[in-house]
Structure 1
């Protein structure tokens, strides 16, 4: 991470809450969305799924998945090429070997041998190496809309689960890592010989255009696959119950919030998704006030 950005991040994170929100609105471009969302399924009969909710509600931590565990096998795919001259391939290999501590004579001989190999063989090996390293990348995905009918259907067990609401400014040090995903019909091309590291950023934030409805933002942490990432408890500000949730689901959600309160953590507002009477859309209702809809800006992406 850039040193200047680290210093700026520490300075902003140290500001009081409202000053921090104002600073983010004034200084960050493109402007970041105020809220992030995470849809989760759970079953009253499945203790493991309930414990996954407890991770977020009580333990204040996010599970970083490996891309090989995604439901989309094309996610983070890339076309790795080695487009250039034999000399460029030799120099690139030599620089890589030097960075890994290989002695001068050994790496010079190996670099010459490498440069003489067919480009197709090199690219095939690079592609395989990329796929192997991808397994170790940790990813946590946020959604961009709490009212998405498709997201509730696909990721919250047909509207019986929950959707968590996070406020970025309440833990900007962690949630600043949530970057916007781009959608395309083609793999990004990465040239191993030039701007390889810079190009990887595009790969890690690219998905097929069919997933655009997710409006995804994701935290990507190389080497942290299948680990937990802690966040400030205050960053979790809301939990929305699906419109098809049964009484058991509601009771479990409430029990987790009570467990959170007993742990001395900041309060989380409880909402409910409700089917609109005449339109194909959901409304978000504050459960503390029956039939009173939230103000439009409470759950808007822009805040």
Structure 2
């Protein structure tokens, strides 16, 4: 998923280019709730506190621990960090209001992030939670039954007034606010606003020289109120002896917080161990954003079996015959040939 962050760029009258500096340093700022621009953030009707005394009276239940835990949870809110992103129904940031409100009337720029990689940049998955914002005419009511509901966190920290619906927000909720570093692979593209100063555009392009990033300039579409992006240049990492695109095809990528699993169709002629070790090494250099397993196949005949478990009979034999090599994340300089054959 691609998430867009609209940036103001220079702060008028102060000469600050904080947004550019954060971009070039691979940093984002996860704000506390109290510093967000919506004063109604995390607003809800607390029905839990109302009903607990009733439980105490009717069922003679000791509610002391429950009240304590509930208050601790509410206090924990002040430590949380929020990083908000906007989504788009198109493959570029087309939100006219977001450009006007958050990108300094088009003097700024918009960053396209790979949201999964942004989330994965945190060391531990428990430190960050991704949510799609729910928009409502009224604040949600928090009931006791909500505590075990998967929507509990959304009700508490991911519900906003319907007037904000134009933002199409997704947010990353961190266990603490502050500066966060992200993996360089997270950054996918930069879109320059209609009125952005060319010197700032050049500064960004130049300083992201050895990165796989596309740069666009937003333009007005004729005879409409719509915006359209024009590709002005593309930076690429400098990789010696880069793999040719006719040597392979990526069949599937499985992401998790610890490792990445790549399933790759190998089109090379040489299938000896040395050749496949060299291939997996170059593939990692080009694509891996964290420790990774490289599963190498010689045919698409088993593509529908990838990830299927367990396999029996003919399916098991078919898969074993075409999974020709596996390079493990913990032994990247070695390779297992036909790892599923017995």
TM-score class, shorter: 0.5 to 0.7
Residue by residue over 1:197-230, the C-alpha shift from the partner in whole angstroms, topping out at 9 and shown as x without a partner, is 75233221111011111110000123x12x1122
Matches within 5 A, 1:287-298: 287-288=232-233
In structure 1, what is the Cα distance between the partners aligned to 2:141 and 2:60?
17
Q: Aligned residue pairs: how many? A: 218
1:252 to 1:144, Cα distance in 2 relative to 1, 3 A:
same
Which of these two proteins has the greater Rg computed from alpha carbons? 2
1:195 to 1:50, Cα distance in 2 relative to 1, 3 A:
same
The answer (yes or no) to whether the contact 1:156–1:163 under 8 Å persists in 2 is yes
Determine which of 71, 77, 81 is the counterpart of 2:43: 77
Structure 2 match to 1:238: 189
The answer (yes or no) to whether the contact 1:190–1:200 under 8 Å persists in 2 is no
Residue by residue over 1:78-112, the C-alpha shift from the partner in whole angstroms, topping out at 9 and shown as x without a partner, is 11122252427953323566x8xxxxxxxxxxxxx
Matches within 5 A, 1:160-179: 160-168=107-115, 170-171=117-118, 173-174=120-121, 177-179=129-131
Unaligned runs of 5+ in 1: 1-33, 100-124, 290-303
The answer (yes or no) to whether the contact 2:33–2:80 under 8 Å persists in 1 is yes
Establish whether residue 280 from structure 1 lines up as the match of residue 228 from structure 2.
Answer: no
Greater relative contact order, per chain length (Cα 8 Å cut-off, separation 6+): 1
1:46 to 1:60, Cα distance in 2 relative to 1, 3 A:
farther
In structure 2, what is the Cα distance between the partners aligned to 1:55 and 1:48?
15
The alignment partner of 1:135 has SS state of helix
The answer (yes or no) to whether the contact 2:10–2:19 under 8 Å persists in 1 is no
Establish whether residue 260 from structure 1 lines up as the match of residue 208 from structure 2.
Answer: yes
Choose between structure 1 and 2: higher helix proportion: 1
Once the 2 structures are TM-superposed, how far is the Cα of residue 51 of structure 1 from its aligned partner?
Answer: 2.6
Matches within 5 A, 1:34-183: 34-43=1-10, 49-56=16-23, 58-81=24-47, 82=49, 83-84=51-52, 85-87=54-56, 90-94=61-65, 130=74, 132-145=75-88, 146-168=93-115, 170-171=117-118, 173-174=120-121, 177-183=129-135
In structure 1, what is the Cα distance between the partners aligned to 2:87 and 2:200?
25
1:183 to 1:45, Cα distance in 2 relative to 1, 3 A:
closer
In structure 2, what is the Cα distance between the partners aligned to 1:194 and 1:143?
31
Unaligned runs of 5+ in 2: 123-127, 235-342
The answer (yes or no) to whether the contact 1:54–1:256 under 8 Å persists in 2 is no
In structure 1, what is the Cα distance between the partners aligned to 2:222 and 2:63?
62
